[in-house]
Structure 1
Amino acid sequence: MTTPRVRAVNVAEMLSQTARRLPDATAVVYGGTRWTWRELDEGAGRVCAALRRAGARTGDCVLLHGHNHPEYIQALYGAWRAGAAVAPTNVRLTPADVTVIADVCRPVAMIASSGTEAHVDAVRATTGLPAGTLWIGDHQGPDAVAALPAAADGEAATARVEAGAHAWYFFTSGTSGSPKAAILTHDQLGFVTTNHAADLMPGLSEADVSLAVAPLSHGAGVHLLPQVARGAATVIPTSPGLRPEEVWELVERERVTNMFTVPTILKTLAEHPAAGTVDHSSLRHVVYAGAPMLNADRDTALDALGPVLVQYYGLGEVTGNITVLPPQDHRRPQPDGVDVGTCGRPRTGMQIAVVDSDGTELGPGGIGEICVAGPAVCAGYLGNEAATAAAFDGGWFHTGDLGMIDGHGYLYITGRASDMYISGGSNIHPRDIEEKLVAHPAVAEAAVLGMPHPRWGEIGVAIWVPRPGADADEAELLSWLEPRLARYKLPKQLIRWSELPKSGYGKVVKRTIREELTSSGWTAPA
């Protein structure tokens, strides 16, 4: 029996449908300019036509390297309309970083913001870029897409794609290791778009307004998909970096109803004085993801913003679709003996399990690796069969995170398997220590990691950042921790730093902390 070729819906079709339904409604706000859905759609058509004229074909890869900008959105949907798989890269990456990514996905063309010539040259040296480079505007740049020739008949037609067709190469290595390209398909992203709208922002419609405060190359780009599908306008700050006062001004002026953040950004926004002075009553859903949020930071944000926080847990490989914690569950009581808050219940249409080292599913309260199954899981890693086989061992997708499920189906993340260290034969999960350390009134941030020790194998070293105007010494912090932790979990060193190193997406990078400690001449205490 011949397997039929099943057609999928090209992700770009969602923009076309919204442009037909709401042609003159506001699609994007950027500074003093308001772009309509018709203008956004026409620009995507120009990008599609330009790529096709340059020789890009359905199934090719296009690397997208640019700042958050309306033309970035046109480039993203234009590449999809041409049938290409898009590989977005964080604009904060170095040319060498982007070259490593390009060597994995082998793009035929590159779309880049002006001012990133070094990145384009590096990629061209790696892949040749046979279909060339398309330039789009940066924070101060011109309307480059509008200057492209208009599409001739058929040049901007949405490419037919089939089930399983690659749409997005979502590069992920967590906070360590070499980058891997998770394959996100058109049909998978269609499910994710619907699921985000249903689970994270119930009732999302053209009456909503979204604020993009994180790079569109990552989770914020996925968050953009339901906004486009439902016709909700997107507001893009014009500053090249995060300026909390600008964010709060835009929330008040544009009556923003939802935004996507990561815990570090949410913490910064909630603690900024403007959060207590501007009118942010329009907010209904402040979505955060990307890393666990410490209880103390979560409570600060709840006190500042009210019951609008929505947490989701996921990985790039599962496009965020593992669990959701809606506003009403944010102060859900923790089970006895659990010191971390829940990250919520399984997303609609998804299933999770906690398994031991043998792959056996554990019952409520058992701590093991978190695994997931469902339509949001990626199709594997591009050109990396070994990594794909390891990730799907036993049929589940293995997240590499450790956690437990309570009797009501709520998931609790206890840490990364790679973060766990063994000291004197005892397994120690840093998050428990970090939660208690950051609860001290002088501590703004903390990261705990295992460092080698000749007697104990590994010991806990806590790196902490003081709150503005506050201070503490090691003895005070240890006195704070002693009644709150089992003795074997107490860090052997507490080292004050002015800041913690973070990735381009706001995650604390423990690999970099370890490297900085080693390069500075750190030695294990006796």
Structure 2
Amino acid sequence: MNFASLPDRRADLDPHAPAVSDATGSLTNAQFLDRVRAATRHLHDRGIGPGDVVALKLTNRTEFVVLLFATWRLGATITPVNPTLTDVEVARQLADSAARLLVVEDGTTLLGGVATLAVDELLQEATESDHTPPADSSALALLIYTSGTTGVPKGVMLDHTNIDAMAEMGVQALQLGPADRCLLILPLFHVNGIVVSVLTPLLAGASVVIAGRFDPRTFFDLVESERPTYFSAVPTIYSILAALPADVRPDTSSLRFGICGAAPASAELLTRFEDRYGFALLEGYGLSEGTCASTLNPVSGPRRAGTVGIAFPGQEMRIVDENGVELGPGVDGEVVVRGPNVMRGYLGRPEDTAQTVIDGWLHTGDVGHLDPEGYLTLVGRSKDMIIRGGENIYPKEIEDVLAGDPSVLEAAVIGVPDTIWGEVVVAYVQPTPDSTVDPAALQALCARKLSRYKRPTALVVVDTIAKNAVGKIDKVALRAAHTALSATS
């Protein structure tokens, strides 16, 4: 099923059923199709056609979803742009993607000579003539730029085969149907927001509620008023919600589950959250290069805290050593993934593509192991590994211990150079709201739970831990800040 024709199919099947809503209003399936047709006409009149790239520099709003489908009806490609990027960063993405049009919140921005369109000027009245949605599954659908934590952002090319396969897998794995309602709180410039919270529920016949910026003070009010059946969020959001005052007791009865992804979560956090709020958290794992998701703890069946679940239907997963040899259960190695969800490649970077996708297997750079039932446990990224005196240390193990203390909202562990050991462990911790972290107590906790060589040589308490645009801890920035601090002390 090509997503370009999904609005037509939904309108034919149930024209009056809800499709998409945001703070400004809601659209039925028929109204959504009308808006998509109107936007398609507008883009066509602006010269957009097959193979062109349309950049969306927008906050979360219904028009973002409308423009996704309108662009695909013309055989063109979407590249989402983080609205918080600097002009220099935006110009770099526009140039790299060769974008023909940039859609913005207002019409004042001019970057790199790319034509702009203010989103509020988008046509909303459908016309009789319409473009027949293309059926070319090899056409490029999304150009997602990586967060850049390991270097300059790269354009991940996802074609219609990729997004069709990923959404189908998501419908099966999440057991979604028309009665479901997804609450979107993650940013739409990230593949998780687009695929898990928009394309997958719409494919299932379900509806989507688009929330604005996450606010813990109003989040559960939104849950109670909109009655979603699921949502997807990052561990930071679950940590903040778990730390709300004890008198916050929302009605969460509509929720079947929450999805936790984009960054590792501790088993303690998942258990504490579920015990408090009464619905399951399904931890999963994936990359933009794999069209978002590759594993998930099952909706029905055993959920194993501390793991990121089993492979999605239609995907294969292996653990391999540095020579690509498959390893047995319980043995740590690199996680590799194969399936129709694996990206076409990095735009204009054939060498990077060849190093990342080998014989159809996506080499993730993440280190973990599988148990005999196929549940994946991640121990860290190969590039984050700390080597102290010849001993390999994965930060996640230490971060999980620190996050188990109720005074700690989040923890980030890095390796710093040491003349004797090569590298030593340094931990940064962020307190939960209205809490005070006791470094001595945390060191005692580490002494009880970690071998001596894994224990932090320093614990730094900070107001906030640096994050990148998609909510992952930015260890590159953290290491740079630590280096700069060390140089001045």
Structure 1 length-normalised TM: 0.88
Q: SS in structure 1 opposite 2:222?
A: helix
8 Å Cα contact 1:43/1:145 also seen in 2: no
Partner of 2:201: 227
Cα distance in 1 for partners of 2:54, 2:389 equals 50
Deviation at 1:209, TM superposition (A): 1.6
Cα distance in 2 for partners of 1:53, 1:193 equals 30
Instruction: Report whether the alignment pairs 1:136 with 2:119.
Output: yes
Cα distance in 1 for partners of 2:3, 2:247 equals 36
Instruction: Report whether the alignment pairs 1:210 with 2:182.
Output: yes
Deviation at 1:189, TM superposition (A): 1.1
8 Å Cα contact 2:147/2:469 also seen in 1: no
Partner of 2:231: 259
What CA RMSD, in Å, does the superposition of the two structures yield over aligned residues? 2.1
Cα distance in 1 for partners of 2:133, 2:8 equals 12
Cα distance in 2 for partners of 1:40, 1:112 equals 20
Alignment of 1:63-462 (within 5 A): 63-114=55-106, 117-118=108-109, 121-122=110-111, 125=112, 128-129=113-114, 132-137=115-120, 144-147=121-124, 150-151=126-127, 153=129, 156-173=130-147, 175-200=149-174, 202=175, 204-218=176-190, 219-223=192-196, 224-237=198-211, 239=212, 241-273=213-245, 276-327=248-299, 332=304, 341-462=306-427
Q: SS in structure 2 opposite 1:93?
A: coil
Partner of 1:21: 13
Instruction: Report whether the alignment pairs 1:507 with 2:480.
Output: no
Q: SS in structure 1 opposite 2:329?
A: coil
What amino acid does structure 1 have at the position aligned with 2:153? Answer: P
Partner of 1:51: 43
Q: SS in structure 2 opposite 1:64?
A: strand
Cα distance in 2 for partners of 1:494, 1:109 equals 47
Partner of 1:336: none
Partner of 2:2: 10
8 Å Cα contact 2:18/2:26 also seen in 1: yes
Cα distance per residue 1:388-428 (max 9 Å; x no partner): 00002354110010000111111110001111011111111
Deviation at 1:373, TM superposition (A): 0.4
Q: SS in structure 2 opposite 1:309?
A: strand
Deviation at 1:188, TM superposition (A): 1.7
8 Å Cα contact 1:208/1:233 also seen in 2: yes
Deviation at 1:50, TM superposition (A): 1.4
Alignment of 1:451-490 (within 5 A): 451-490=416-455
Q: SS in structure 2 opposite 1:110?
A: strand
8 Å Cα contact 2:298/2:309 also seen in 1: yes
Q: How much identity, in percent, do the aligned residues show?
A: 35
What amino acid does structure 2 have at the position aligned with 1:136? Answer: V
Cα distance in 2 for partners of 1:523, 1:352 equals 46
8 Å Cα contact 2:77/2:141 also seen in 1: yes
Cα distance in 1 for partners of 2:168, 2:28 equals 23
Q: How many residues align?
A: 487
Deviation at 1:329, TM superposition (A): 5.9
What amino acid does structure 1 have at the position aligned with 2:412? Answer: A
Cα distance per residue 1:180-221 (max 9 Å; x no partner): 111111122111111111102x1x233222111111121111
Change (3 A) 1:290 1:306: same
Q: SS in structure 2 opposite 1:162?
A: coil
Deviation at 1:367, TM superposition (A): 0.6
Cα distance in 2 for partners of 1:87, 1:348 equals 27
8 Å Cα contact 1:312/1:343 also seen in 2: yes
Change (3 A) 1:47 1:57: same
Change (3 A) 1:379 1:229: same
Cα distance in 1 for partners of 2:165, 2:276 equals 33
Cα distance per residue 1:117-167 (max 9 Å; x no partner): 44xx12xx2xx33xx322214xxxxxx4345x64352xx313424232111
Change (3 A) 1:110 1:160: same
8 Å Cα contact 2:55/2:79 also seen in 1: yes
What amino acid does structure 1 have at the position aligned with 2:188? Answer: L
Q: SS in structure 1 opposite 2:218?
A: helix
8 Å Cα contact 1:404/1:412 also seen in 2: yes
Cα distance in 2 for partners of 1:286, 1:476 equals 32
8 Å Cα contact 2:79/2:144 also seen in 1: yes
8 Å Cα contact 2:236/2:410 also seen in 1: no
8 Å Cα contact 2:285/2:295 also seen in 1: yes
Change (3 A) 1:246 1:442: closer
Cα distance in 2 for partners of 1:507, 1:472 equals 22
Cα distance per residue 1:249-300 (max 9 Å; x no partner): 1211122111121111222234334994221101012122111111221112
8 Å Cα contact 2:161/2:341 also seen in 1: no
Q: Which sections of structure 2, spanning at least 5 residues, go unmatched?
A: none
Q: SS in structure 2 opposite 1:310?
A: strand
Cα distance in 1 for partners of 2:126, 2:434 equals 57
Deviation at 1:32, TM superposition (A): 5.8
8 Å Cα contact 2:4/2:134 also seen in 1: no
Q: Which sections of structure 1, spanning at least 5 residues, go unmatched?
A: 1-8, 138-143, 334-340
Structure 2 length-normalised TM: 0.94
Partner of 1:338: none
8 Å Cα contact 2:39/2:123 also seen in 1: no
Cα distance per residue 1:210-259 (max 9 Å; x no partner): 1111111211111210222233221123x4x2112322112111221111
Change (3 A) 1:320 1:408: same
Deviation at 1:318, TM superposition (A): 0.5
What amino acid does structure 1 have at the position aligned with 2:298? Answer: P
Cα distance per residue 1:405-461 (max 9 Å; x no partner): 111111110001111011111111111111111112322211000111122111111
What amino acid does structure 1 have at the position aligned with 2:69? Answer: Y
What amino acid does structure 1 have at the position aligned with 2:117? Answer: L
Change (3 A) 1:21 1:394: closer
Deviation at 1:104, TM superposition (A): 1.7
